[in-house]
Amino acid sequence: MTTELTRLHAHHMAARLRAGELTSRELTEAHLDLAEAQDHGLHAWLTIDRDRALAEADAADVRLAAARGEGREALQALHPLLGIPVGLKDLVSVKGGQATAGSRILEGYLAPYDAHITERLRDVGAVILGKTNMDEFAMGSSTEHSAYGPTANPWGLDRVPGGSSGGSAAAVAAYHVPLSIGTDTGGSIRQPAALTGIVGLKPTYGRVSRYGIIAFASSLDQIGPFARDVRGAAALLHAVAGRDERDSTSSPEPVPDDLLTLAHSDDEAAGSLHGKRLGLPKEYFVAGMEPGVETRVREGVAALEAAGAIVEEVSLPHTEYGLATYYIVAPAEASANLARYDGIRYGPRLGEGADVLADYLTTRGQLFGPEVKRRIMLGTYALSAGYYDAYYLKAQKVRTLIKGDFDALWARGFDALVAPTSPTVAFRFGARLADPVSMYLSDACTLPVNMAGLPGISIPAGLSEGLPVGLQLIGAPWSELELFRLARGYEAITADADWRTLEPADLPALADPSTPTPAERMAAMSIVDR
């Protein structure tokens, strides 16, 4: 029963809940039991709150029973996330719960309030299972930079799940939870979605409030959904999106209710692709892209064309400057945002207590990880006197040019762009830790979207060497509904593909309590490499 329930897609769960064939408590217990039994070998979760989750499930069952008593209209008025388990990346504030952002400098901190998206999830009746692992302060592309140890990829336990939202992605891919929340600053939803074989959407900047989200780079961060299918991701976005007066960057742009009515029929979904005009940016087929990844992506493009989409090669000429621009802007904003962590207001404080400055330096020096320190130093340097104009100001000008490339394509009438999500499949633990630049290149296909504030979605596109490959769709501002329709169409035209029937290869090992933890596996691999 546990296996059966956890394999359902979120919309199937919702239908069974409304029909009274299933209770939210049964559904929640099945996911809790699986996550608690298997997380030893995966480490997708930093905390699982069974008591709170079961209380929320019981409350959802009360709402469901009341609606069934009132009749069909009352049931139809319920949000499809009512009673559905959700995981939150551990930088989302949940009142009374931890929010470490994957860092020791926030160890022991308990959030005094709910984030906006937490409030929205409570309003619709979703069940929050717990908090997922992540790269420290969302700085990384592998979840190896978590201060609490790495997360493994269920497709290969010796490989990374991507990052920084690797815990959220791995938890969905391993069936521990049907839906989860991540954040995307330079690709941190789409890249792990690609590497774990699930759906992940980065919304338009401002579509979802950042209130109550621990910040990395404020002009780039955006909250978004993970799911095992497109309809689940669309329902989760619908639940959390919308204007929030506490976040001046959140947009009043209406959230379309049609997010909840994507085509059920594969024939209808596939038919919506006919006549769509898609651009294929040549710059996204970057040097170093694995041949197997390029093959799967081009097969995906060919499938879209066969379904009636019109695909044209296009150019985004300033893409080559995206990586360098991002790694000036993002660290600069991080250096400002992370200045607040001083050992006085949040988390532990190290030192003797007699010298405030010495304690400040000791706390930050010992409790920030090496990647966070690296980016703080990069950002502080870029903002320092004499270098601001040469680096940060120039980067912002180039950012405008990157956005202009996209705007020119929307003006030409393209419905979306289609591209790779990641140039490689999931890499092995430790493979890129000694070379930060090679790690940064993991996001080469995703970060221009963040620089331009656009929405982008990664959807599964098959396997290369037995590991998932992601296909990325990029849209104009506020075009999430269009992206979901295109993604649902692609899902429909590949519904009979053999790879759609496959589960992550290393799931059986997660059921074995003798399976090493990701940290143990990573340490053993490091010894062998030396």
| Digit-coded pLDDT (tens) for 428-480 | 999 998 888 778 788 989 999 999 999 999 999 999 999 999 999 999 999 99
Task: Tell me which residue of 455, 458, 10 sits closest to 241, measured CA to CA.
Answer: 455
What are residue 433's phi and psi, to 5 degrees? -65, -35
What pLDDT sits at residue 2? 59
* pLDDT bracket for residue 530 (50, 70, 90): very low
Residue 342 lies in a domain: no
Q: Please give the structure tokens belonging to residue 34.
A: 């699986």
pLDDT at 351 over 90: no
Mean pLDDT value of segment 376-399: 93
Burial code (b: 16+ CB inside 10 Å, e: under 16) for 143-182 equals: bbbbbbbbbbbbbbbbbbbbbbbbbbbbbbbbbbbbbbbb
**Whole-structure pTM value:** 0.97
Structural domain contains residue 174: yes
Within-domain flag for 364: no
- What's the mean pLDDT when you consider all of the chain? 96
pLDDT of residue 208: 98
Catalytic residues: 89, 164, 188
CB contact at 8 A, 91 and 101: yes
User: What element of type H or E holds 280?
Assistant: strand 277-281
State both tokens at 96: 């009374």
| 424 domain-assigned | yes
Contact predicate 99/92, CB 8 Å: yes
Q: What share of the chain in percent tops pLDDT 70?
A: 98
Q: What is the CA radius of gyration of the chain?
A: 22
| 386 occurs within a structural domain | no
Q: What is the residue whose two structure tokens read 């940016």?
A: 281
Smallest Cα–Cα separation from 421: which of 297, 248, 265? 297
Per residue in 75-116, pLDDT tens? Answer: 999 999 999 999 999 999 999 999 999 999 999 999 999 999
User: And the tokens for 124?
Assistant: 């619709």
Other beta carbons within 10 Å of 58? 15
291 by Cβ neighbours in 10 Å (0-12 / 13-18 / 19+) ranks as: exposed
HEC per residue, 317-343: HHHHHHHHHHHHHHHHHHHHHHHHCCC
Whether residue 431 lies inside any domain: the answer is yes
pLDDT (tens digit per residue) in 9-46 = 999 999 999 999 999 999 999 999 999 999 999 999 99
At residue 527, does pLDDT exceed 60?
no
The CA distance from 471 to 446, in Å, is: 11
Predicted confidence at residue 440, as pLDDT, reads 76
CATH code of 500's domain: 3.90.1300.10
Give the pLDDT score at 286. 87
Average pLDDT over residues 254-280: 97
Residue type, 4: E
Q: Which residues make Cβ contacts (< 8 Å) with residue 431, sequence separation at least 6?
A: none
Task: Please tell me which residue, 1 or 404, carries the higher pLDDT value.
Answer: 404
pLDDT value, residue 437: 77
Choose among 279, 258, 295, 261: nearest CA to 478. Answer: 258
pLDDT tens across 393-406, in order? 999 999 999 999 99
**For residue 399, what are its two tokens?**
């950012």
Q: Encoding tokens for residue 300?
A: 């995906």
Residue with tokens 């950002």: 379
Place of tokens 């009352």: 74
List pLDDT tens digits, range 244-266: 999 999 999 999 999 999 999 99
**Phi and psi angles of residue 493, each rounded to the nearest 5 degrees, phi first:** -75, -15
Give alpha helix (H) positions in 190-243. Answer: 190-196, 230-240
Q: What DSSP character marks residue 1? A: -
Residue 436, domain extent: 2-321+399-529
- The pLDDT, as a whole number, for residue 117 is 98
H or E segment and range at residue 31: helix 24-42
Q: Domains in the chain: how many in total?
A: 1
Q: Which pLDDT score, from 0 to 100, does residue 529 have? A: 52
Residues 356-376 have pLDDT tens digits of 899 999 999 999 999 999 999
Domain assignment present for residue 346? The answer is: no
Would the pLDDT of 119 be above 70? yes
- Picking from 454, 10, 471, the residue whose alpha carbon sits closest to that of residue 200 is 471
Q: Quick check: is 355 in a domain?
A: no
Cβ 153 vs Cβ 426: under 8 Å: yes
Per-residue pLDDT tens digits for 478-504: 999 999 999 999 999 999 999 999 999
Q: Specify the pLDDT at position 1.
A: 53
